Amino acid sequence: MFTNLDRTDTLVHQGKRKRLVEELIKKGINNPLVLDSIRVVPRHWFFPKDFEQFAYRDAAFPIDHGQTISQPYTVAFQSQLIDIKENSRVLEIGTGSGYQAAILAKIGVELYSIEYIKPLLEQAASILTEINPQIKLFHGDGSLGLSKYAPFDAIIVTAGAPIVPETLKLQLKIGGRLVIPVGNEKENQEMLRITRISETHFNQENFGDFKFVPLKGKQGWEI
Ligand code: SAM
């Protein structure tokens, strides 16, 4: 079991989070809802006790099954890009550790999160039910979205895709945003934001290079 079973949150942890937030502000994160969320969500709960000292560094960290808990800057940057408001309906593709789901849910959105690797989803669920039991978790291929609960105000993909899946674009509301890293499987990906302008028109913006684990599934790199 990867996660921390000691679910305490001390003044020391809170102080480390405050410093992490200051670091993110210096790096350009300025959305108050996102910063407030990072200030309160205990990232060390998503780490095993022995590695807790790494929880408040602005760095990605390996989790089970060859996956990663995303760097706090990346979590904040993606969350900021979708410009979510309270009560927005949001789909996260790639629950992973559950940390980003906790950040998004703390903002007050109606969060749906889907993960391909079942044991990872189960670990994430064990923490997320304590943090916010309203988060709706699913096991499956998120490259196809979650049509039953569409349309969404925002979709965040937390793994690198070869293309922008049409299926995901079509699960956005008009005005909705899809944030997805797209590029080479082994190298960097470009962070794209696709905004649905109308039934048939989409606007695409590019926010530069990031590095993610590959998106699997029918619209990903492998089945
Ligand atoms: N947001 C996560 C966090 O805060 O820990 C980071 C997730 S990690 C960078 C990417 C995750 O996407 C991995 O857990 C991986 O198993 C998952 N993933 C990859 N392809 C997927 C797919 N087609 N559907 C759902 N999840 C997928």
What HEC string does the chain produce? CCCCCCCCCCHHHHHHHHHHHHHHHHCCCCCHHHHHHHHHCCHHHHCCHHHHHHCCCCCCEECCCCCEECCHHHHHHHHHHCCCCCCCEEEEECCCCCHHHHHHHHHCCEEEEEECCHHHHHHHHHHHHHHCCCCEEEECCHHHCCHHHCCEEEEEECCEECCCCHHHHCCEEEEEEEEEEEECCCCCEEEEEEEECCCCCEEEEEEEEECCCECCCCCCCCC
Q: Cβ–Cβ contacts within 10 Å for residue 93, how many? A: 29
What was the pLDDT predicted at 194?
98
- Is 70 designated active site? yes
What was the pLDDT predicted at 196?
98
End-to-end CA distance of the chain: 25
In the predicted model, is pLDDT for residue 168 greater than 60?
yes
What was the pLDDT predicted at 48?
83
Q: How far is the CA of 177 from the centre of ligand 1 (A)?
A: 19
Percent of the chain exceeding pLDDT 90 equals 83
Q: What is the pTM of this model?
A: 0.95
Residue whose CA lies nearest to ligand 1 atom number 2: 96
In the predicted model, is pLDDT for residue 50 greater than 90?
no
pLDDT in tens, 62-109: 888 888 899 999 999 999 999 887 789 999 999 999 999 999 999 999
Compute the average pLDDT of residues 153-178: 97
Q: Give the chain's mean pLDDT.
A: 93
Whether ligand 1 lies within 6 angstroms of the CB of 142 is answered as yes
In the predicted model, is pLDDT for residue 4 greater than 70?
no
In the predicted model, is pLDDT for residue 1 greater than 60?
no
- Rounded-to-integer distance, Cα 194 and Cα 187, Å: 22
Catalytic residue among 70, 79, 88, 113: 70
Domain coordinates of the chain in residue numbers?
Answer: 11-210
Q: Which amino acid is at 58?
A: D
Residue whose CA lies nearest to ligand 1 atom number 18: 94
Q: How far is the CA of 77 from the centre of ligand 1 (A)?
A: 17
pLDDT in tens, 105-133: 999 999 999 999 999 999 999 999 989 98
For domain 11-210, the question of CATH label 3.30.300.10 is answered with no
What was the pLDDT predicted at 40?
96
Compute the average pLDDT of residues 162-177: 97
Compute the average pLDDT of residues 16-41: 97
